[in-house]
Structure 1
């Protein structure tokens, strides 16, 4: 979306048209919708912009729930936007610290700023891109305690704010067909700039969960967050918005609610041992936070092999920090043997998981020639240094 399309969309005609569209379902109906809207007298540019927004709103429901139906987006802005339930937790840190005036530097479409404003904190959302800043202003319009500034965050005077929040851009410029930036030196603003600000006042910095851990400042609280088993971010917290004594944490959000595993440092690995009746696959946030050893001790489990994030136990302990499986068979990792064993069991649907071995699950699935109505999970990993296949079922 360019600025001219946005101007059309933000007109009364454009917004009324957008709100009148039926919820987006698939691309199958696009041609018919375009034809109908064009016959109604709407311009091609407005029709394209409205339909694109309708599609983005449908995609945004996973992050913003019912609020998505009254928001505007860009493709890149939606991709990087914080899920509303996670943004609420970010905002809660500033509120708990007694801060009242927050600068959201690099606000994107305004997701985090919305959550901050909803807690009655004054927030200034700063966004360099003109179109994205206009969209943030639209999304924040219901809050009279929110201001949007179209500016370069590196040029903003932050001295009057109590706290700072940064979400450095990790995608190439543009509003569609963007790609991820992998080098932190190319983030906007750079990590060096963000960390320098963090030394001046309470600050939160949102980063991708796979960032090099060596870049994490020693004074930061590092919290990896997963939603429905998908690791969505690494949050770094400094000053009053960081919690005393915590340097590593895994926040797990799902149907169970919210649960957290935290420590003052990476945990020591648990002892390795023989395969028990149950296998645990730790949540990705626990793995990223390197708290696997603490989790193992919590559920009275042992590690299958040194350096591999699978745990095993003789008893079942329910935990939000791992998925549990009942092990039915332990087999040598041999494709011919596996094919015969799976055929004998009539397994036609197979979930394949692997750690510590060079296996392509898609290629392996084809070679196994699965047939039957039964289902199972296959773990391919190392046990006591040997490649091993574990046939299991989810608990």
Structure 2
């Protein structure tokens, strides 16, 4: 186990001490070490903003993605739920973004890794703080609060807890604003005062706009407002339609077509000396509705035995054991799920680098006694405890390429 004390500013240059971690296509073995660990320190979401800020000479930030060229003005457009593989498989629905996969428009495109788990709250915190989950401390959709022994939903921030106690690091936006960079977030008005925004995306000014077109236009204006600018904008409904209807649905394809036009709208308005980066927080996979693919924790006495709390989400579970039952729960989950999930103890997952190269002391007990990450097209649902989540068509969270790889598309002026 590796712990680190919180630094005064993000340190994005740390690398994963897991040289045994396999390439994304090397997944024959089912042991914990075979899981394809995110590329923390060189090619993850946590490395993007610190690299851009360092290029604008913001103190406390470090270049991690050495292939990115510094720009005076930088914009990150995060599309919730648009994985690299989904983009590559739908060129007709996303012609503009597909064109950015080559350099014909002055841009380039490649996949980067989201981080584990590949879920919105975790990924947004990684983006905004420039730190992996083991440091920023949002290591899942729901995790145990060691102070109360209750599950905390880190997306909805329920039950409420003091945001800055939960995530004490400054955001890259805050560091940039303090360094004199014109800094802004352009998103839905509903997100302006949420605790997740406060701990992950605050710094500079927030501009709430309802429509995607308004956000693109205002993001371009904010980029032009400073000689050095850092602007973030966000769109959610690709993820929303994927959860409800699946990524094989007309509704999802319609959203992809719409957001492709938004990207083009923003790209065509960029002021001089600007780099636009289009990325996402996770990919998505559709899971069939049958008992083979959806294992119901609430109906499975073996999986429930010795478990005090079930956290995480269907493809990335945190399992909190009754005190003294940790070893038995780990053994049982491995026996029941070992062919379909990577199942690790907390210390094994930390040592393998799942949550980053280090895990802060305050974060350690938030991670499950047992951590289960899906490797096949399967879910652990909880039909009684999580009825809405259990009915979702599209899902995400684990370390498979379809969930973990997200696009990094670049347009420069």
**Fold shared, TM-score > 0.5 on shorter chain:** no
Place the TM-score, normalised by the shorter chain, in its bin: under 0.3
The structure having more radius of gyration, on CA atoms, is 1
Greater helix share, structure number: 1
Greater strand share, structure number: 1
Q: TM-score, normalised by structure 1?
A: 0.26
Q: TM-score, normalised by structure 2?
A: 0.25
